[in-house]
Each structure stands twice: as C-alpha cells, then as structure tokens.
Amino acid sequence: MDQKEEGVSPVELRELKQLLARSSLAAGLYMPGDDTVPAVRVQQTAMKAKELSLIRYAVGIELVPGRIVGVLINEHGTRLADEQLVLADMEVQTVVSGAASVTAALVDAVPSARAACGRVALGFQLGGPVDTTTGTVLFYHKAPPRMPGPIQDIRWPDKQPLSRMLEDATGLPSFIENDANAYALFQLWFGAGHETSRFAVVLINEGVGGSLVIDGRLFDGPMELGNLSVLPDKVDNARPCDCGGIGCLETTGGIHGILENVYKYAHRTVDNVVDAAALAERYDTRGAAEAFRVAGHANAKGIGIIINFARPEQVVVYAPQVMTEHGRAAAAEFLTELGEFFSFCHPALHGSAKLRIEPVRPYDGAHGAALLALERCFDILPENAAAPVGKPQ
C-alpha cells in the first residue's frame, strides 16, 4: 500500500510507530522494523493511543496493619486493577517501598495508564491524623489490646513527611489523607453522595474514625471521632486511649477494644473480630456478645454527638462484615445498640438523620484514596453527586 495515498509521510509513519511502541498499545500489530503493516492501521492505532494517553488516572493505596491494598482507577472513577501486598513489618520505609511496588504493578497492568506520562497521581490513606496541606502524617499509633496475643504495637515517629517520601519512591504526585475521609470520598462518588450533599461517615477498624461531607465537599478540619469521651464512667481498669484519655470511643468501639473486652468478659483470647464474633455465637462464651453490645453503645453515643453538632442527613457506618450481618449474635448485639443513637441526640433532631450500615469491603478504602488523588491533582469531582441544598443542580 502506498504511504502517500494514506496521507502519511515516511517520517510521520516512523513517529507514529515510535508513539505506539511507547504506549504498548500495538502489541501484535507489528514488530520493530516491520514495514508490512498498512500505514492507515498504524495511523488509526496511534490516534487511539494518543486519545487514551490523555485520560487521567489515579492509584489509591490503603494502609492497614501488616498489609497494603491498592487500586488503579481512571478519571471517571472506574476501577481498572487491584493489588494487595503483605508487609514484612510496619516501619515507615517498608510501607513506602511496598506502596511503590504496588503502584508500579498497578500502572504496569493497564497499558493505557502505563502510557499516560504525567497523567497519573497517587493517593494514600491511613488511620491517623494527617496534615493534607504539607503531606505529613502527624501521628500513627496502633496500640494492641491488653491481652495475650500476637498483635503488635505499631508506632511511627511523629510528623512523617509521607507525601514527599512517596513522590521520591514513585515519581508520581502524591497526596495523603485520613482513612475515614477516604471512605467518605468513596461514598460521595458511589453511595450516600447520590442522595444527599450532607452526610457523615463512621469507620470502625482497629479504632474508630469519622468524617463529614458538607455541601458535597469534605469538611476541612480534623474529626478525631475516636477521641470523644463516650464512656467516662467506665474508669475501673479502663484501657487508656492513644490520646491519653479514658473512656474514649476508640478504646471500646473499635476492633482492638472489642478484642480486649472479649478477653475481659469471656476470658478468651482471640486474634481477630471474626473469631470474636464466632465466640459470641456460643452459649458458654456469651460474654463475648457483651463486647459487641458495648461497642454498639459507644458508637451510638458518637453518632449522637455528630448529629448534635453537624446535623447530617445520613450517617454511614462502616463496620466489619461480621458486625453487619443480620442473624449473627455479634451483629444483633452491635446493631441493636447502634440503633439507639437517637437517644443521644437533642430531641429536636430526632429523625433528622438516616443510619446506613455498610460492611468494610476490600477495596473501598483504596478506591477512596484514588478519588482523593483525582480531586487534588486534577480537580476532578464526582459527576452524579447530589447538589447542595438550596443550590441549582
């Protein structure tokens, strides 16, 4: 086929083939030095490569004790790939190296993202207070339950410049956020945000985190929900919070608090919340169910406080799946107490907020971190989120 008839000069054809080679989108189309491929096919494929290379992408990383969870999404929020990595330890440099490894694997798994030079950003979230402006982790500490068992204390030096460390390791613009805020962003794009522009998120992991979305945007301020003193009367042999307080929601409403209370009430040692829930099903260890009841009660108080000062239209509670499945003893104890949240609201606010229960799914948190990167790096916002009250759609 004559290249002139296709409107492509030999120089242009060579440049198009180079573009295709860089984009990795022409696998199987031709080999380097192969001149038998019709110029029009090279041109069409190169145009597609150029079109795809303009799409923005984001990697999202969630850090949980002992593990990194990652996803890659495009600018529409669609998840394209996912990856998990078990960490040898939780030291800062190990986490950064693991995040870089997962990021490289995710980008490499999607050819169009691999070709998107300068159009990939990284979002990273973890359970602790952060300064998103400077990219600094202010404090990261996961105290183990006070009981025998393998759960180790995790503590980083304060004020870790994590964004800069991630950028140095990955070469990508990097943004960090608190875990509850990342889950709130996921809800803004794919959940409660389709129904209301004003909602709260309560995230139950090792501890308890919280987030607010007001007028369709994350509340700009620390919301350390876990440090609210919700059980100050429970001072006898109470577990001290990382903040130094007694009776904090963090110490009774999160997974580590539940495990410790299972040991206290049922005199059994369990390593995870699934085993704790299994104990709650047994007649001879019904004291384990009390740990879930106390967790529900503590979180109900926390929700009441959120409603009193912020008046969200919905409160999304993320909890481990065994605490959300109806028909299980642990879930029944937890959800029954949680449903009493209105008892801790001002009477004028009764019925002002709808409770929405969500199980913690494997990739929602990492997905939220990726959405964070889309917003912070490319100013991309959700298209279908509810309009703020009183403002035009």
Residue 390 pLDDT level (bands cut at 50, 70, 90):
very low
Least confident of 173-187, 273-287, 294-308, 359-373: 273-287
Residues 6 or more apart whose CB falls under 8 angstroms from that of 144 comprise 151, 152, 153, 256
Rounded to a whole number of angstroms, the distance between the first and last alpha carbons of the chain is 54
pLDDT at residue number 41: 64
Q: What are the structural domains of the chain?
A: 57-378 (3.30.420.40)
Mean pLDDT of 56-68: 97
Structure tokens at 302: 């926390």
Rounded Cα gap, residues 105 and 115, in angstroms: 14
pLDDT at residue number 9: 62
pLDDT at residue number 1: 40
What is the residue-averaged pLDDT of the chain? 87
Q: Which residues pair with 61 in a beta bridge?
A: 70, 124
Instruction: Give the tens place of pLDDT for each residue, 302-324.
Output: 999 999 999 999 999 999 999 99
Least confident of 25-29, 34-38, 81-85, 364-368: 25-29
| Angle in degrees, 0-180, between the axes of helices 273-280 and 255-266, rounded to the nearest 10 | 40
pLDDT at residue number 38: 67
Cα 353 to the center of its chain, rounded Å: 23
Q: Which helix (H) or strand (E) holds 58?
A: strand 57-64
Instruction: Give the tens place of pLDDT for each residue, 91-137.
Output: 999 999 999 999 999 999 998 898 888 899 999 999 999 999 999 99
Residue 71 has pLDDT above 50, yes or no: yes
Burial class for 177, CB neighbours closer than 10 Å (0-12, 13-18, 19+): buried
pLDDT at residue number 3: 42
Residue 392 has pLDDT above 50, yes or no: no
Residue 179, Cβ neighbours under 10 Å: how many? 25
| Angle in degrees, 0-180, between the axes of helices 10-23 and 39-53, rounded to the nearest 10 | 50
Rounded Cα gap, residues 123 and 173, in angstroms: 9
Rounded Cα gap, residues 20 and 18, in angstroms: 5
Residue 168, Cβ neighbours under 10 Å: how many? 12
Mean pLDDT of 42-49: 62
Q: What is the percent of the chain where pLDDT is above 90?
A: 67
Instruction: Give the tens place of pLDDT for each residue, 228-269.
Output: 888 776 545 567 787 778 888 988 999 999 999 999 999 999
